[in-house]
Chains A and B, each alone.
Chain A
Amino acid sequence: MASPVSCGSRHSPDELPGDPSSQEDEDCDYEDRVSYSGSYSSESSDYDDVEPEWLDSVQKNGELFYLELSEGEEESLLPETPTVNHVRFSENEIIIEEDDYKEGKKYEPKLKRFTKILKSKSLLPKRHNKKSSNGSEPVSILKHQSNQKTGVVVQQRYKDVNIYVNPKKLTVTKAKEQLKLLEVLVGIIHQTKWSWKKSGKQGSGERLVVHGLLPGGSAMKSGQILIGDVLVAVNDVDVTSENIERVLSCIPGPMQVKLTFENAYAVKKETTQPRQKKAQSNTNDLVKLLWGEEVEGIQQNILNTPHIVMYLTLQLDSETSKEEQEILYHCPVSDASQKLKSVRGIFLTLCDMLENVTGTQVTSSSLLLNGKQIHVAYWKESDKLLLIGLPAEKVPLPQLRNMIEDVVQTLKFMYGSLDSAFCQVENVPRLDHFFNLFFQRALHPAKLHSGTSLSAQQYDASSAVLLDGLPGVRWLTLPREIKMELDTALSDLEAADFAELSEDYYDMRRLYTILGSSLFYKGYLICSHLPKDDLIDIAIYCRHYCLLPLAAKQRIGQLVIWREVFPQHHLQPSTDSNTEVFQEPEGRYFLLIVGLKHYMLCVLLESGGCASKAIGNPGPDCIYVDQVKTTLHQLGGIDCRISEQLTASPSPCLSCADWFLTGSHEKLDSLTTSPILSRLPGTSKVATSPTCRRILFGDYSLKACKPSPSRSSGGSDNGCESREGIGLSPHTTPDAIWKQRESQGSEASEESGALLKVTKKKVSLPNPFHLGNLKKNLSEKDLEIYNTMKLTSGPENTLFHYVALETVQGIFITPTYEEVAQLSGSIHPQLIKNFHQCCLSIRAIFQQTLVEEKKKALNRGDHSGSTNSVSSLNPVKEHGVLFECSPEKWTDQRKAPPVMAYWVVGRLFLHPKLQELYVCFHDSVTEIAVEMAFKLFFGLTV
Chain B
Amino acid sequence: MGEEGTEGTVHLLCLAASSGVPLFCRSCRGGAPARQQLPFSVIGSLNGVHMFGQNLEVQLSSARTEDTTVVLLVGLEELTNIRNVERLKKELRASYRLIDSFLGDSELIGDLTQCVDCVVPPEGSLLQEALSGFAEAAGTAFGSLVVSGRVVAATESWWRLGTPEAVLLPWLVGSLPPQAARDYPVYLPHGSPTVPHRLLTLTLLPGLELCLLCGPRPSLSQLDPQLLDRWWQPVLDPLRACVPLGSRALPAGFPLHTDILGLLLLHLELKRCLFTVEPSGVQEPSPEHRRRLLRSFYTLVTATHFPPEPGSAEDKVEEVAQRTQVPRACYLVSGPEEPGMGWRLVAVQAGPRRLLLLLSAQSPTHALRGLATHTLQALSPLL
Contacts and interface: CB of A to CB of B under 8 A. Distances in A.
A927 interface: yes
B326 A884 contact: yes
B362 interface: no
Contact of A349 (B49, B331, B336): B49
Nearest to A872: B292
Given A343-B53, A373-B317, A830-B325, A873 B63 contact: no
A901 B289 CA distance: 33
A392 B317 contact: yes
Interface in B60-78: 60-71
Contacts of B62: 365-366
A869 B290 CA distance: 11
Given A359-B6, A360-B66, A873-B332, A343 B58 contact: yes
Interface in A347-400: 349-350, 352-370, 373, 392-393
10 contacts: A357-B42, A365-B71, A369-B58, A833-B322, A841-B304, A848-B68, A871-B68, A872-B292, A873-B293, A879-B332
B352 to A, nearest CB: 16
A31 B201 CA distance: 102
Given A392-B317, A872-B292, A876-B333, A346 B49 contact: yes
A910 interface: yes
A64 interface: no
Interface residues of B, number: 60
A928 B366 CA distance: 6
Contacts of B64: 362-365
Contacts of A926: 366
B58 A358 contact: no
B34 to A, nearest CB: 14
Given A841-B304, A873-B296, A883-B325, A353 B42 contact: yes
B16 interface: no
> How many of chain A's residues touch chain B, expressed as a range?
35 or more
B365 A878 contact: yes
B299 to A, nearest CB: 9
A350 B67 contact: no
Nearest to A885: B325
Interface string A174-200: 000000000000000000000000000
Interface string A250-274: 0000000000000000000000000
Given A833-B322, A868-B8, 16 more contacts: A343-B56, A345-B52, A353-B45, A357-B38, A358-B67, A365-B60, A366-B62, A369-B59, A370-B57, A845-B332, A870-B296, A881-B329, A882-B330, A911-B337, A928-B366, A931-B366
A349 B48 CA distance: 9
B335 A875 contact: yes
A870 B69 contact: yes
Contacts of B289: 867, 872
Interface in A578-600: none
A779 interface: no
Contacts of B186: none
A433 B327 CA distance: 41
A362 B63 CA distance: 7
Nearest to B299: A873
Contacts of B38: 357
B257 interface: no
Interface of A: 339-340, 342-343, 345-346, 349-350, 352-370, 373, 392-393, 827, 830-831, 833-834, 837-838, 841, 845, 848, 851, 867-886, 888, 901, 910-911, 926-928, 930-931
Contact of B365 (A360, A886, A927): A927
Contacts of B334: 873-877
A926 to B, nearest CB: 7
B328 interface: yes
A340 to B, nearest CB: 8
Given A368-B61, A848-B68, A882 B328 contact: yes
Given A392-B317, A878-B332, A830 B324 contact: yes
Among A356, A366, A869, A888, the most chain B Cβ lie within 10 Å of the Cβ of A869
Contact of A393 (B59, B61, B67, B317): B317
A911 B71 CA distance: 34
What are the 8 closest A-B residue pairs judged by CB atoms, nearest first? Answer: A927-B366, A365-B63, A878-B333, A882-B329, A360-B66, A881-B330, A368-B59, A834-B325
Nearest to A902: B325
A836 to B, nearest CB: 12
A871 B325 contact: no
B297 to A, nearest CB: 6
A885 B321 CA distance: 12
Contact of B61 (A367, A869, A910, A928): A367
Given A869-B8, A872-B293, A885-B326, A361 B46 contact: no
A888 B334 CA distance: 35
Given A358-B6, A365-B64, A873 B300 contact: yes
Contacts of B57: 339, 369-370
A459 B360 CA distance: 39
A885 B324 contact: yes
B65 A346 contact: no
A201 B381 CA distance: 86
B197 interface: no
A463 to B, nearest CB: 15
Given A872-B292, A873-B293, A901 B63 contact: no
Contacts of A927: 365-366, 369
Nearest to B59: A368
A837 B60 CA distance: 26
Contact of A350 (B8, B63, B305, B345): B63
Contacts of A360: 65-67, 69
A354 B65 contact: yes
Contacts of B66: 360-361, 363, 851
B58 A368 contact: yes
B4 interface: yes
Contacts of A349: 45, 48-49, 52
Nearest to B331: A880
A739 to B, nearest CB: 51
B33 interface: no
Among B8, B304, B336, B366, the most chain A Cβ lie within 10 Å of the Cβ of B304
Contacts of B67: 358, 360, 851, 868, 870-871
Contacts of A339: 56-58
Contacts of B325: 830-831, 834, 883-885
B5 interface: yes
Given A353-B46, A879-B333, A870 B317 contact: no
Contacts of A345: 49, 52
Nearest to B326: A884
Contacts of B326: 883-885
A393 B63 CA distance: 17
A356 B71 CA distance: 13
Contacts of B330: 879-882
A886 B53 contact: no
